[in-house]
Structure 1
Amino acid sequence: MNQKLVNLIIGSLLHDVGKIIYRSGEKKSHSILGWEFLSKIPAFEGNTDIKECIKYHHGRELSKAALDDNSLAYIAYVADNISAYSDRRLELIEGDSDSEAGFDKTAPLASVFNILNGSNNNLNYKLKFLKDINYPTSNEISATASNYLDIKIKLEEQLKGVQVEEKYINSILHLLEICTSYVPSSTNTKELGDISLYDHSKTTASIASCLFYYLEGENLKEKIFKDEKALKDEKAFLLFSFDVSGIQNYIYTISGKGALKALRARSLYLDLLMENIVDDLLQKTNLSRCNLIYAGGGHAYILLPNTKATIDSLIEFEQELKSWFLSEFGVALYVACAYVDCTGNELAQDIGSVYERVGRELSIKKSQRYTYDDIVKLNTSTREKNDRECRECKKSGPLSQDGMCNICQALIDISPSIVQKGLYFVVEKNKSDYSLPLPFGNNLYFKTLN
């Protein structure tokens, strides 16, 4: 991954860290507080790109700064605007002395269900780390300076152990998830405070990553700051989705012997298969897990840049993935992939229609599952003389002594280890009798820590 992109992702993830500092009792604009906070951490103190993303992510401050025309702060600024659905040129800035009266820094994170279907509830979350289940409550809750100080200390301790490298992006993302999932992104008294700082930071980094590729070769100051309105109307983004059909039938197509073990193993395998597919796509497009919007239940949504390189990667990715599913599972499981282009304004103001469009594209793909060549392949017997039908999934091929194909046998073999403590998963290119196949030449191993 390009080092500039690494700087931009980390800068976008941490652009609002100053809100934690401000709410812990310190004075000054949260942009300045965030810049000062990171300047004291070894990995960031000499990184101008990251510190500019934090110090100048608001229009008022950016307009007065003498930055290089291609400073990453311009991308962080517009990505923040799209993520927050606002125009920051005139907005009040949390922590600014002129704006302090418009904020309540003790406000808790509100539940997103408060206004669902015309409701008018007042359920809020306690400010705490992401550990146990934190149910929203109607009791009066106040986020204290002491709560925020605990978060500040945790962030400071953990960030001292990171480096500005690609391999640390997921660690920083995970740290923010633990620390800021119950921190409101905005405490503006005129706004709903139902979006967490974690979600806002993650989507800002996702949007910024896409714009980094989309605006490659452009003068960022001219393109973003002087013509922001036009940029937000450009189809700079792709909403990509894939859906795996046949999961329920596949999971429950088992014999009576060892049924519980088989169910447990198949369900876990499919979950890890989904995550691996997501990681492979992000790797092919040189993006991070910030761009993953959702993955679960055989379905995923990923935000991507609308560039030729990305579209070429998606075409190749879909072909390889469909071929692998056909080879490993026949018609038992099918994967459909689709994407639609969209603008920054659509992401900010009309995201529902974007999801509807990609959903329609997926439906079309599902109704036209196989090409002529696929159908010919499915109807051409490749069975060897000694091939038999697997007792579990009914797939024909070489079987183990227990009458199972390689996947079903491996699932039975690894099932007892799933419930053990200290289990971890390894993806390798090497294949063995105890590995499970994954797309793109990978294999999944289950190992336990001694």
Structure 2
Amino acid sequence: MIVVLNLLKVISIAGVFHDIGKFAERAGDVETVNKDIVHQEYRYGHAYNTERALEELFGERASWFPDAFPGVNVLNLASRHHRPRNMYELLIAEGDRIASGHERMKADEAAEYDVEGLDRKSKVPLINILSRVRLEGKMDQEIEEDWRYKLRKFTSVFTPDGLRDIFPTRGSEYGALEVQRDYAKHWEEFKSAIAVSVNGRKLDLFDNFETIYEICRDYMWCLPASTRKEELPDVSLFEHSKATAALASCLYLYHADEKGIIKESDESKREIVDRAIDKFLLFAGDISGIQKFVYQISSKGAYRALKGRSFFIQLLSEILARNFVKEFGLTLANILYASGGKFYLLLPNVGKIESGLTDLSCKLNKWLFKEFGGDLYIRTASVALSGDDLTRQSGETLYDKWDHLTRKLVYLDRQRYHEIAISDYELLFGTQNVKPNTCEVCHSSIDAGSICSTCEMMAKVGSLLGTTSYIGLADNESEITGEPIFKLDGVFSRDTLVWLLSDDNFPFSVKNNISILRINEGNIGRIPLC
């Protein structure tokens, strides 16, 4: 099983970095090579430059492979996605094709940028999709010019000057030469961020992949995935790479046998590229009861309680999304969205995962009921997707599938706690839950005292937020000193404990089984590594 998890991580990382050569290419960080050899081995120059970039960024770690899978490494899987030589490289290739088929639209006259020739790639910016929105009745209205994103780190939004640069600007104010100039600078800054040394230790491609993933988001969100003249450059390179990683990971779990092996055969190749089969699951989790949970408070301690409860819901969405994907060995790339009490995941459509999702949802709702007395409930549902669905070849759009998923969630709201009513009737309806006193803040029943444990926790969270710089996540209390604000236990294979940390009580070293989330700060150099 460890081998399977390691290979799954290799595939996901390769998906994230499969087009990193485009970034290097546009920045001019390339070398003169024999074009015929490149075409024969890699098909496209950016694939060859992906290999070069990975070697420069991560050295030998990019060539590491799990036991019994020689040659199946990040370097090969990422760079050979246009000329796959085995089934594992084909997974990245197919993930890339599906992601490209789903996201790309044909260009129009407004997308005829003021660039031509071989250096076009380095002069095309990412355009804002909202600049293409037209109201009904005005569909024939001509688009005067595109709004473009500047090449800037996303975390620069936390600096006074960066907030202005993060929003799209008129095409006339950000021309081709400025884009080309910024590419070279942006690439050098990206390489420096990857090479950051903390406590004398550099980021490891595998041990610190979550951090590296966020660095990629920070720098690649504003780069177009495609600069081809016939396509609109309106999808970011990061989102395309993330989708490729998620799809390839799902394809691996769908096609691999119990030992994690995909047999090298023509039949395996046909099965991998068959897009008519529902190989994917679009899974949704929706925390219900948020409005009542957040606002059902008295005036006593309302400010802190309101802050704490709002923050808790946002944090719970993130924690649940992370735990669901990790439960099946997947990475953050499989989290499509997690915010405001909702999360959407892309998962493989295999039986053990479907049954696992049902079991986890039941355990999670039991935990929520015990902790919050029925105020919060999570609805979970999924719909099957095929490659044809994702490339608009099945007759149904992703919108149709998403609408179907939403309808399933609405229906489930009528069946709250039905699984607990069957498995633990006494917990739901037993008289032992009746308590003599009432909480002064939320008016829930309590055994003794004036405030319930939930309101105490939320008030504590609200008071700590003013000095909190980090959120610490770990699976046991010995990892981080101090008292965690809450513990998600008995649901997933590993418990999750959460700490709110200030600069004063931040741990001196961080182990690999701890996740540290930095609040409103893009400088990962301040987070120590063990």
Give the TM-score range, shorter chain.
0.7 to 0.9
Q: Is the 8 A contact 1:38 1:44 kept in 2?
A: no
CA distance in 1, matches of 2:275, 2:188: 37
1:126 to 125, 150, 162: 150
Shift of 1:357: 1.6
> Do structure 1's residue 163 and structure 2's residue 204 form an aligned pair?
yes
CA distance in 1, matches of 2:222, 2:434: 58
> Do structure 1's residue 23 and structure 2's residue 17 form an aligned pair?
no
SS in 2 for 1:108: coil
- 1:208 corresponds in structure 2 to 248
CA distance in 1, matches of 2:19, 2:268: 20
1:418 to 458, 462, 465: 465
Query: C-alpha offsets along residues 134-166 of structure 1, whole Å, 9 cap, x if unaligned?
Result: 11122422353432222322333343433242x
> Do structure 1's residue 77 and structure 2's residue 93 form an aligned pair?
yes
| One-letter identity of the residue aligned with 1:219 | K
- 2:168 corresponds in structure 1 to 136
Q: Is the 8 A contact 1:104 1:189 kept in 2?
A: no
SS in 2 for 1:109: coil
CA distance in 2, matches of 1:428, 1:283: 13
Shift in alpha-carbon separation, 1:317–1:77, aligned structure 2, 3 A: same
- 2:112 corresponds in structure 1 to none
> Do structure 1's residue 146 and structure 2's residue 162 form an aligned pair?
no
CA distance in 1, matches of 2:327, 2:305: 32
Shift in alpha-carbon separation, 1:411–1:428, aligned structure 2, 3 A: farther
- 1:95 corresponds in structure 2 to none
CA distance in 2, matches of 1:427, 1:145: 43
- 2:438 corresponds in structure 1 to 389
Q: Is the 8 A contact 2:25 2:46 kept in 1?
A: yes
SS in 2 for 1:85: helix
Shift of 1:422: 2.9
SS in 1 for 2:381: strand
> Do structure 1's residue 438 and structure 2's residue 488 form an aligned pair?
yes
Q: Is the 8 A contact 1:413 1:434 kept in 2?
A: no
- 2:122 corresponds in structure 1 to 105
2:74 to 17, 29, 50: 50
Shift in alpha-carbon separation, 1:223–1:16, aligned structure 2, 3 A: farther
Shift of 1:55: 2.1
Shift of 1:17: 0.6
CA distance in 2, matches of 1:291, 1:384: 42
- 1:183 corresponds in structure 2 to 223
> Do structure 1's residue 254 and structure 2's residue 278 form an aligned pair?
no
Shift of 1:348: 2.7
Shift of 1:426: 4.1
Shift in alpha-carbon separation, 1:103–1:252, aligned structure 2, 3 A: same
Query: C-alpha offsets along residues 8-32 of structure 1, whole Å, 9 cap, x if unaligned?
Result: 1111111101111111123671111
| One-letter identity of the residue aligned with 2:446 | G
Shift of 1:435: 2.9
Query: C-alpha offsets along residues 390-430 of structure 1, whole Å, 9 cap, x if unaligned?
Result: 12222222344xx1111211222332221115343344545
Shift in alpha-carbon separation, 1:434–1:21, aligned structure 2, 3 A: closer
| One-letter identity of the residue aligned with 1:170 | E
Greater shift, 130-139 or 197-206, is seen at: 130-139
1:39 to 44, 55, 59: 55
CA distance in 2, matches of 1:322, 1:124: 44
| One-letter identity of the residue aligned with 1:162 | L
2:232 to 172, 189, 192: 192
CA distance in 2, matches of 1:433, 1:178: 31
CA distance in 2, matches of 1:52, 1:100: 30
- What RMSD in Å do the two structures reach over aligned CA positions? 2.8
Shift in alpha-carbon separation, 1:370–1:3, aligned structure 2, 3 A: closer
Unaligned runs of 5+ in 1: 89-98
Shift of 1:376: 5.7
Q: Is the 8 A contact 1:255 1:392 kept in 2?
A: yes
Shift of 1:46: 3.1
Q: Is the 8 A contact 2:277 2:387 kept in 1?
A: yes
| One-letter identity of the residue aligned with 1:187 | T
CA distance in 2, matches of 1:100, 1:209: 36
Greater shift, 321-330 or 263-272, is seen at: 321-330
Q: Is the 8 A contact 1:124 1:137 kept in 2?
A: yes
CA distance in 1, matches of 2:117, 2:102: 19
Shift in alpha-carbon separation, 1:364–1:86, aligned structure 2, 3 A: closer
> Do structure 1's residue 405 and structure 2's residue 456 form an aligned pair?
no
Q: Is the 8 A contact 1:237 1:342 kept in 2?
A: yes
Shift of 1:215: 1.0
Query: C-alpha offsets along residues 224-271 of structure 1, whole Å, 9 cap, x if unaligned?
Result: 655665x21111101100111111111111111221111111111111
The share of aligned pairs that are identical, in percent, is 24
| One-letter identity of the residue aligned with 2:430 | T
- 1:281 corresponds in structure 2 to 324
CA distance in 2, matches of 1:4, 1:255: 52
CA distance in 1, matches of 2:442, 2:391: 45
1:234 to 255, 277, 282: 277
SS in 2 for 1:30: helix
CA distance in 2, matches of 1:221, 1:150: 45
User: TM-score normalized by structure 1?
Assistant: 0.87
